[in-house]
Amino acid sequence: MKKLLLLLPLTFFLSCQEDETIIQLEENNNFNPYPKGYFLTEEDKLIDTVRFEYENNLVTKRIGEFVDTSTSTDFIYFFSKQIESNVNYIGNQAVIKRISKIEGVSLPEDIQIYNLNGKQINDAIFTYQTKPNFSEKYVYNYKNNQIKSIDLLISDSVKKNDLTSSEEFYFNSKGNLDSVVYRDAVYLNGLPTIDYNSKARKVTRFINYDESQNLFQNLGIFKDQYFRSLSKNNFRGFIIKDYDKNGNSLNYSDASWTYEYINGEVKVLK
């Protein structure tokens, strides 16, 4: 399976192994912490261009996204520049909604609400039009102003902010994200909790960092770019391992890619 590495979330790659994609980016002589966009390619084939818009150094729009839709006979997954994510800032909140400008293609009115403290995310609440009684709440926990963990709480017709899973974040001495450890909650005395001593977990390691500045640091408001936004430099691969309750390895997947550079910096759009 070939990968579209700059846009898709890590969960897209769980079944991929040993593929390599080269991400072609247009030349830019000066590093820009607020990139206007990037090219999306697969095996040197230009698919399209993702664009960003900003106001007062805050991203307000992402133009160009993947969308899945279905007909009576087919499931269709495609990229379009007529799919946008709009970000509206209201006080300390950022509200993200996706819209379609494609004739005949409508998107459910799903809403992502981020509660912010400066550039840090305190929590995020996701609601879904097709599941009116269901919501996801992501609680971001920090230590020394660095993300330590994210807890996922679920609410539905039965549950009320029940802890469902947690991700722990580990960084190396260079300030780059080393790994993320995911664990599902277990029930103890009728209450959901995370057993941090449990050997049952999923570990994602981020590898082969370059020495260039990370151009995605200001794009963590998009869930599929959050891991990428956390580091000072750019990782160029990852390894995912699943372990059972005895610590035995169950599944393994990995991916790697390269960037193009100019004067030691990743090329970005002009």
Q: Is the pLDDT of residue 214 over 80?
A: yes
Q: Does 12 reside within a domain? A: no
pLDDT bin (cut points 50, 70, 90) of residue 19 is very low
User: Which one, of 70, 77, 59, lies nearest residue 1 by Cα?
Assistant: 77
Residue 166 · residue 185 · CB < 8 Å: yes
Q: Is the pLDDT of residue 143 over 50?
A: yes
Which helix (H) or strand (E) segment holds residue 228: the answer is helix 226-229
Q: Does 27 reside within a domain? A: no
Distance CA 228, CA 245 (A): 29
Q: Does 160 reside within a domain? A: yes
pLDDT bin (cut points 50, 70, 90) of residue 258 is confident
Residue type, 37: G
Q: Does 3 reside within a domain? A: no
Distance CA 174, CA 30 (A): 23
Mean pLDDT on 71-80:
74
In eight-state DSSP terms, residue 213 is P
Domain span including residue 137: 32-269
Q: Does 6 reside within a domain? A: no
Residue 119: other Cβ atoms inside 10 A: 12
Q: What is the pLDDT of residues 157-196, one digit of tens each?
A: 998 999 999 999 999 999 999 999 999 999 988 899 999 9
Q: Does 128 reside within a domain? A: yes
Tell me what percent of the residues of the chain surpass a pLDDT of 90: 63
Residue pointed to by tokens 């709440």: 137
Distance CA 216, CA 234 (A): 9
Q: What is the pLDDT of residues 109-119, one digit of tens each?
A: 999 999 999 98
Q: What pLDDT, on a 0 to 100 scale, did the predictor assign at position 34?
A: 80
Residue type, 118: G
Distance CA 136, CA 142 (A): 20
Distance CA 63, CA 167 (A): 29
Q: Does 18 reside within a domain? A: no
Q: Is the pLDDT of residue 6 over 70?
A: no
CATH at 91: 2.40.160
Tell me how many domains the chain contains: 1
Q: Does 246 reside within a domain? A: yes
